[in-house]
C-alpha cells in the first residue's frame, strides 16, 4: 500500500467517529444511556488511535486534500461535548434550571475552548480543562452523586477550561506517559465494563473508573506543582 493510501485510510478512520456519534445520539434519543456510552467509548478509542497514525503517516504531507485536524475537532465536539451534555440534561441527573444551566455552559464554553489557538501547551498537554465531558458525564452516570455535587463539578470544570491549569494528554504528554497511558487504557476498560453492566452499583468497574478518572483529571496540575528537573539538574 502506498503511503498516500495509508494517509487516506487514517482520514477515513477519523471519519468513522461521525458514524459512532450518530449511533450514540440515536441511543441517547431512546434513553438507552448504557448503549450511548458504549458507542462513545468506541469513539474515544478511535480518537486515541488516529492521532498517532496521522503523525506516523504524515497525513498533512501525504494526503493534504482532507483537513484531519478540522475533521477531528468536529467529531470531538459531538462525542466529547454535545452528546454528553444532551444526556446529562435528558436523563434527569440535573433537572429544572440546573439542567439548563449545565447544557448552556458546557456547549457554549466548550465551543469557545475548542476554537482557542492557545489550548495546547509546549509539552503537548492542554491549558485548561479540555472539554472531555464524555468522560466526566460517564462517571456521573456511574456514580449518580447528589445534584448539588454534579452542579459543582460542571461549574468548576467549565471555569477550569479558561485557566492555566494543565491537563495531560495521556498519549502526547511525555512526562509520566507510561503511567498515564496505562491508566487511560484501564479507564477505557473500566468505562466499557461499567456501561456494559448498565452502571450496576456493585460492579468493580465503578471504583476503577473513579480512580483512573481522578488521575487523568489531576495529573497535569500535580506536574505543575512538581517542577521537572532537566538532565543538568536544574528545574525546567
Is residue 99 within 8 A of residue 89, CB to CB? The reply is yes
- Asked if the structure places residue 235 within a domain, the reply is no
Question: Would you say residue 71 lies in a domain?
Answer: yes
How many domains would you assign to the chain?
1
pLDDT mean over 70-89: 96
| Domain membership flag for residue 231 | no
**DSSP-based three-state secondary structure for 167:** strand
The pLDDT of 111-128, averaged and rounded, is 94
Confidence of residue 220 (pLDDT cuts 50, 70, 90): very high
Identify whether 67 is part of a domain. yes
Please state, rounded to an integer, the average pLDDT across all residues of the chain: 93
pLDDT digits (tens, 9 = 90+) for 164-214: 999 999 999 999 999 999 999 999 999 999 999 999 988 899 999 999 999
End-to-end CA distance of the chain: 43
Confidence of residue 228 (pLDDT cuts 50, 70, 90): confident
Residue 11's pLDDT is what?
A: 95
Which helix H or strand E contains 43, and what residues bound it?
Answer: helix 33-56
Strands 126-127 and 166-167: antiparallel
pLDDT greater than 60 at residue 232: no
What share of the chain in percent tops pLDDT 90?
92
The answer to the question of residue 64 being in a domain is yes
Confidence of residue 235 (pLDDT cuts 50, 70, 90): low
Do the domain assignments include residue 233?
no
Work out the average pLDDT over 204-228.
Answer: 93
pLDDT at 202: 85
- Domain assignment of residue 71, given as a range: 3-225
The answer to whether position 198 is within a domain reads: yes
Is residue 236 situated within a structural domain? no
**Burial of residue 70 (number of CB atoms within 10 Å: 0-12, 13-18, 19+):** exposed
Amino acid at each position: 500500500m502506498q503511503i498516500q493510501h495509508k494517509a487516506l485510510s487514517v482520514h477515513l478512520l477519523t471519519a468513522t467517529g461521525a458514524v459512532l456519534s450518530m449511533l450514540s445520539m440515536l441511543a441517547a434519543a431512546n434513553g438507552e444511556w448504557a448503549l450511548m456510552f458504549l458507542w462513545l467509548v468506541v469513539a474515544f478509542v478511535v480518537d486515541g488511535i488516529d492521532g498517532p497514525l496521522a503523525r506516523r503517516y504524515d497525513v498533512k504531507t501525504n494526503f493534504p486534500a482532507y483537513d484531519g485536524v478540522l475533521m477531528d475537532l468536529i467529531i470531538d465536539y459531538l462525542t466529547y461535548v454535545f452528546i454528553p451534555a444532551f444526556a446529562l440534561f435528558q436523563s434527569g441527573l440535573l433537572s429544572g434550571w440546573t439542567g439548563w444551566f449545565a447544557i448552556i455552559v458546557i456547549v457554549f464554553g466548550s465551543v469557545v475552548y475548542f476554537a482557542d489557538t492557545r489550548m495546547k501547551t509546549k509539552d503537548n498537554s492542554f491549558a485548561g480543562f479540555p472539554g472531555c465531558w464524555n468522560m466526566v458525564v460517564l462517571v456521573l452516570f456511574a456514580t449518580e452523586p447528589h445534584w448539588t455535587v454534579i452542579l459543582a463539578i460542571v461549574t468548576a470544570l467549565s471555569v477550569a477550561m479558561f485557566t492555566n491549569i494543565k491537563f495531560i494528554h495521556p498519549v502526547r504528554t511525555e512526562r509520566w506517559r507510561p503511567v498515564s497511558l496505562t491508566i487511560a487504557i484501564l479507564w477505557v476498560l473500566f468505562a466499557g465494563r461499567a456501561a456494559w453492566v448498565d452502571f450496576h452499583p456493585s460492579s468493580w468497574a465503578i471504583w476503577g473508573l473513579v480512580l483512573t478518572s481522578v488521575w487523568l483529571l489531576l495529573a497535569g496540575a500535580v506536574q505543575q506543582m512538581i517542577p521537572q528537573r532537566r538532565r543538568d539538574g536544574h528545574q525546567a
